[in-house]
Structure 1
C-alpha cells in the first residue's frame, strides 16, 4: 500500500524498483551497500508505482547465521511524508508571516545581514525602508479585525507588485513593513521607490462588496553605508525617519538624518514624562471666555489644557498634545479634560452664575475610539451637567474619514443635547455636503484668517465667505485669536456672531474666571 503496488506487481522484483531512477539517492545507495556494522538507517526518497517521489525513513540490517555468514538484508520502511510536511510547515512559520506570506522579522534580518556582508565586500549601496500604514487602526476599530487582516494581505500584494524580484519586502509586525532595495545606484532610487509605494497604497482598497477604504503610508529611509553599518542601526534609524514622516503629516517619506536622533530622544522623553504627568496629576485647565460680538457679554468658555511639571514653566498644548495624540495618551488625558471641564462648569452654575456652555476640544483619536459617546454620557451623568452646556469642538479634518462612525457619534451627541462645533474652520477640507448633513451648531474661523483680516483682502474675503455660508445653514460663527479693535470691527461688519482672544481675555485659571463671572460679565 505504501508504494501503490499489489502483491503480484512486486513479488520477485529487485528492491531497486522502489528507489526509482533518482540520482540523488546514489550516495545513500552506496552507504546501504557499504553497511559494515550490520545496521544502517536514514531518510531517503523512494518511488511510488506512479513514479512520484515520497520521503521515507529506512532502517537496514544485515541478517547472518550462527556462523556469521550473511544471509541477506532486512529493511524496515516508514513513510514520513506527513512528518516532512510538518517540518516544512514549522520551517515556513519560522521564516514567513502566516497572514501575508511575506518574510517575517527573522528572515528579514537574515537577508539584511547577508546583504550587508556582500555590500561591505563589494562596496555596494543599498536602501532600507521602514513603512507604517496610516489610519490602519481606524480601519480595525471601525470595520473589524477581519477587514484589517484583509487589508494587510492586500497591502502585501501591492508592495510585491511595485518592487523588483531582487528586493525583499517583509512584515515586521502589526501594520509595519520593511523593504530592502538591493543594489541601488544613488539615494534618489530609494526615493523613487518610496514614492511609487505611497502612490500604490494611496489607491482605495475594496475591502467589502460595497465598501472601500483609503489609507496611506509613512516611510523612513536609510542608505548603507551612510546611515549605519549594521542591521540594528539601519533599522533603528529608518524607524526614526518613519516617525518623522508621520509627524510631518503622514503619507510621505523621509530620509534619515542625524538631527532626527535628537528629535526622537526629545519625543521619547516627553512621552515618558507625559505618562508620569498623568499619574501625578500635573495637568491643569485654563479657561478663555467667548464673547457675543454685539453685546460683548460672555456667552461661553473654552477649556484649554496646560501642563505644570515640577520646576518647569507652564507648558502650552503645542508642546505635548501632538505626542499625546500619536502615542494614544490623548485618550486618558482627553477624558480627564472632559471630566474636569464639566465639573467646573457645574460648579459655576451651583454658585449661581447664569449657565453657559463650556467648549472642550476632542481629537481625532478620541473621537474615533470605541465608546466615546458612552464616555461623554457617563461624564455628564457623573457631574450632573446639563448636556446643553457642553460643546464638543472637532477639527474639520476629522469629518473626512470614517463617515459612518462620525455620523453615529454625532447623532448620539446631538440627541442628548450636546452642542457640536468645528474648530479651525477653513484650514482643512470641509465641503458643503458635510456641513449640510452633520448636526453642527457652530463654526470657528481659524486664527490664521483673523490675524490679518483688517489689512489683507484675501483673509477678509475668506472670513466673509465662512460667515455667509454658515448663516445660510443656520450655523453660528465664532472667530478665535481676536487681539485688536480693528479685527473686531471687521468681524462685526461681516456679521460674525462671537469672538475670543486676548482683546477680551487671555486663558485664565478657574479662580480668575470665577472673579470675572462675579463681576456680572454674563
Structure 2
C-alpha cells in the first residue's frame, strides 16, 4: 500500500525538464545499480540466512516501511526488495504522515531519509525516541548528506544503521536482512525462557487472552494448567543450583513431549494446540484451548504427573525421585479474565502442593471431585486384574444376509467394587492414563487362549475372535509377540483378528515395525482397521494391507436424521467391495439400522441388537456348535 499526501502541491514539468531532473538529482541507487545478478539476489534473500534459527523463519513476511520525499527512490527500492524476496511494504513521500502510519501498523524496519521538507528525518527519530512502542523499531537511515555530524546525530537519536546515497543495492539488502534477523532474535529472547527455550511468562499472558477470545466465540471450555516441581528449593540448597537447573531442563523436555502428543487431539481447537510455557523458579504452565469434559483433562493431567517425575543419582548417593504437582483453572467456569484465571490456577497449584507431592487440584470444587474420582479409578485399575474384577466377554458378529454368527468380538468389562460397570472407551482411557493398556491387552490375550482351549476341549468348532489394539499404545513388534504367544498356547492364527486403532502411527514407525504387520498377515492372522472413519481413514488403506474394515459406530447412531451419513456409509460399503475387504458395521442397535445395511448389501455387523456380551462359557453355549455351523441370530419378532 502506498501512502501519499494529496494536499502537497506538485509542479508539472515538461518532458525535457523531467529528464534533466533525473540526470542531475541523486537517486537512492547509483546509475546502473538498480539491477543485480540473480545469484547476488539469492544471497540477499531472507530465506538464505547463513545463520538459521526459528526466530528468523518469517523474515520475508516482515513489514518494511520507507519514508522519502522522492517517489522515484521509493519505487526503485520497493522494486529491488520485491525481487530480493520481501513481500510487504508501506511508504510515504509525506514525512509528516510517517509517525501516524507507524502507530497504525508497526513496521519491522524503517528506511528513513533525513533531508525532507516540513518534517525532517531527525524530527521523526526524535518523536520515535519518545514513544514507548516506536522507540523499538529498527531504523536504517538513507541520506545524501555527507556531514559526519548529521550521521552521529542520527545514530545518537536511535538509528540502527546509516547508509549514504547513492546506496549499493547489495549492501542495502544485506543491511535490511541482518537488521531484521537481529530484531527477530531479540524478540525471540524477550519471549522465551533462557534455561529451557520454552515460551515465557510474558508470552503466556498474551496467549491466554487469545485462547479466551477464541473460546468465547466458539463456545467451548478450556483450561490453564500450572505445573510446579515439588521441593525444588531443597534440592537447590542441598545439591546446588546447577543440579536444579539440570532437573528443570529434563522435566521441561518430558513435559514438552507429553504436550505435543495432544496436538490435533481432543484438547485442541481448530486453530490452537496445547502449549507449554516456563515461568520463573519451579513453575511451568500449559494452555489447553479446548476441553470436552473432565475425563479428557484428568487423563492428560495424570500423564503429565507421570512424565514430570524424574530420577537422578549422584555418585555414592541413593537414587532420588523428583515429582511435580498441578493446579487447574477451567474457563469459562472459573472466569474469563486472564489475570483471574491465572491466579486461580496458581491457587489450585498451591493447594495441591499443600496436600502433598505428586497431586493435582482443580480450582472448581465440582471438577476437582470428579477428577479426583478418575485419578482414584486409574490407581485402582492396577489392582483390578489381581482381584478378578476384570472379565473378558464376547458379543456375536453376524453375517447380515443370513443372520448366522460368523465371528466374535471380545469385550473388556471392569466390575468395580462399588458396583459400577466400566467398559468401552472409558476403560480404554483409564488404562491409557494409568499405563495399564499393554498389561490389560496381554491379560486379554491370555484369557482368550484359555477360553479357546475350553471350547476346543468341549468339542465345539471355534470361530474368529477380534481383539482391539491401539498402535498409539503398543508397537507392532510387541503386538506380534502377544499374538505368537496365543498361538503357542494352542489357538490357530486364522481364528484371531487383530483390530488396529490409530493406524496412522505406522507412518512414523521404523521400517522393521512396519514389516512386522506384514509378517503377522503372512502367519495367518487377520488384520482389521478398526474405527474406520474416526481414528482411521481411506488414506490408511494404502499404508496397511488388511483383510477387513470396521466402521465407527457413530455412523449408525444418527443414521435416520442425517442423509450425509447415509451417503458416506454407502460409499464405504462400495469401497470395501471394490477392494475385496470384509466390511463390518459396528453399533447395530435397532431394526432400522439392520434394514438399511441389508438393503445396501453390507457383509457383517455387530451391536446390541444381536444380544448382550456374554462370558466365554455362556457365549459357547449360546452360539457355538460341534458341527461348525453356528446358530442363527433371532431378531425381534422372529421365532425358531
TM-score bracket for this pair, using the shorter chain length: 0.5 to 0.7
Partner of 2:280: 168
Which residue of the other structure, out of 308, 312, 335, is the alignment partner of 2:419?
Answer: 312
| Residue 275 (structure 1) aligned to one of 361, 364, 382 | 382
1:233 correspondence with 2:340? no
Match of 1:480 among 586, 605, 610: 586
Residue in 2 aligned with 1:93?
242
Q: Corresponding residue for 2:617?
A: 511
Shift of 1:477: 0.2
Q: What is the alpha-carbon distance in structure 1 between the residues aligned to residue 410 and residue 251 of structure 2?
A: 48
In the alignment, is the contact (CA less than 8 A) between 2:327 and 2:349 conserved in 1?
A: no
Which of residues 248, 269, 284 in structure 2 aligns to 1:179? 284
Deviates more, 1:416-425 or 1:401-410: 401-410
Q: Which residue of 2 aligns with 1:134?
A: 258
Q: How does 1:39-54 map to 2 (within 5 A)?
A: none
The 3 A distance-change label for structure 1 pair 93 and 503 is: same
Aligned partners of 1:282 and 1:340: how far apart in 2? Answer: 13
Partner secondary structure for residue 226 of structure 1: helix
Q: Establish whether residue 345 from structure 1 lines up as the match of residue 455 from structure 2.
A: no
Which residue of structure 2 lines up, in the alignment, with residue 321 of structure 1?
428
How well do the aligned residues superpose, as a CA RMSD in angstroms? 4.0
Which 5+ residue runs of structure 1 have no aligned equivalent? 1-86, 105-129, 139-157, 171-177, 182-189, 193-218, 245-254
Post-superposition Cα deviations, 1:201-248, rounded to whole Å, max 9, x if no partner, equal xxxxxxxxxxxxxxxxxx9765564345596437799x999x99xxxx
Q: What is the CA–CA distance in structure 1 between the aligned matches of 2:348 and 2:328, rounded to whole Å?
A: 15
Matched residues in 1 for 2:365 and 2:506: separation?
35
Q: In structure 2, what is the equivalent of residue 79 of structure 1? A: none
| 1:448 Cα deviation after fit | 1.1
Q: C-alpha displacement at 1:289, in angstroms?
A: 0.7
User: Can you list the C-alpha shifts for 1:88-135, whole angstroms capped at 9, x where unaligned?
Assistant: xx745233117949999xxxxxxxxxxxxxxxxxxxxxxxxx955338
The alignment of Structure 1 onto Structure 2 pairs a total of residues equal to 332
Aligned counterparts of 2:252 and 2:400: Cα–Cα separation in 1: 62
Provide the residue aligned with 2:498 in structure 1: 392
Query: Partner of 2:443 in structure 1?
Result: 336
Question: How much has 1:450 moved relative to structure 2?
Answer: 1.4
1:389, distance to aligned residue in structure 2 (A): 0.5
The answer on whether the counterparts of 2:462 and 2:624 sit within 8 Å (CA) in structure 1 is no
Q: What is the deviation of 1:376?
A: 1.9
The structure richer in strand per residue is: 1
Check 1:350–1:274 CA distance in 2 against 1; reply closer, same or farther (3 A cut): same
Aligned to 2:461: 354
Residue 521 of structure 1 pairs with residue 625 of structure 2: no
Among 331, 342, 363, which residue is 2:470 paired with? 363
1:503 aligned counterpart, secondary structure: helix
Q: Could you give the per-residue CA deviations for residues 342-388 of structure 1, whole angstroms, max 9, x where no partner exists?
A: 3313432343333310101113454237633112212221x210111
Are the counterparts in 2 of residues 293 and 496 from structure 1 also a CA contact under 8 Å?
A: yes
2:294 pairs with 1:294: no
Between the aligned partners of 1:449 and 1:341, the Cα distance in structure 2 is 29
CA contact (8 A) 1:400 1:429 kept: no
CA distance in 1, matches of 2:455, 2:251: 59
Structure 1 SS opposite 2:528: strand
Report the CA distance shift for 1:493/1:224 in structure 2 as closer, same or farther (over 3 A).
closer
Gaps of 5+ in 2: 1-235, 263-274, 290-325, 330-340, 633-640
Give the alignment's TM-score, normalised by structure 2.
Answer: 0.46
If the length of structure 1 is used for normalisation, what is the TM-score?
0.55
Deviation digits for residues 248-276 of structure 1, max 9, x if unmatched?
Answer: xxxxxxx9544332123112211222122
The residue aligned with 2:569 is 463
Q: Residue 378 of structure 1 is aligned with which of 485, 510, 513?
A: 485
Aligned residue in 2 for 1:499: 605
SS in 1 for 2:559: coil
Structure 1 residues 299 and 346, CA gap change in structure 2 (3 angstroms) = farther
Change (3 A) 1:235 1:401: farther
Q: 1:232 to 1:423 in 2, by over 3 A?
A: same
8 Å CA contact 2:461, 2:624 repeated in 1: no
User: Matched residues in 2 for 1:291 and 1:398: separation?
Assistant: 28
Q: Any conservation in 2 of the 1:396–1:425 contact (CA below 8 Å)?
A: no
Within 1, Cα distance between the matches of 2:500 and 2:506?
12
Q: Evaluate the alpha carbon distance shift between residue 450 and residue 330 of structure 1 in structure 2; reply closer, same or farther with a 3 A threshold.
A: same
Q: Is the alpha carbon distance of 1:485 and 1:236 closer, same or farther for their aligned partners in structure 2, counting shifts above 3 Å?
A: farther
Distance 1:311 1:303, change over 3 A: same
CA gap of 1:137–1:319, structure 2 versus 1, over 3 A, is closer
CA gap of 1:314–1:410, structure 2 versus 1, over 3 A, is same
Which whole-Å CA distance do the structure 2 matches of 1:273 and 1:369 have between them? 28
- Asked if structure 2 preserves the Cα contact closer than 8 Å seen for 1:301 and 1:356, the reply is yes
2:416 counterpart SS class:
coil
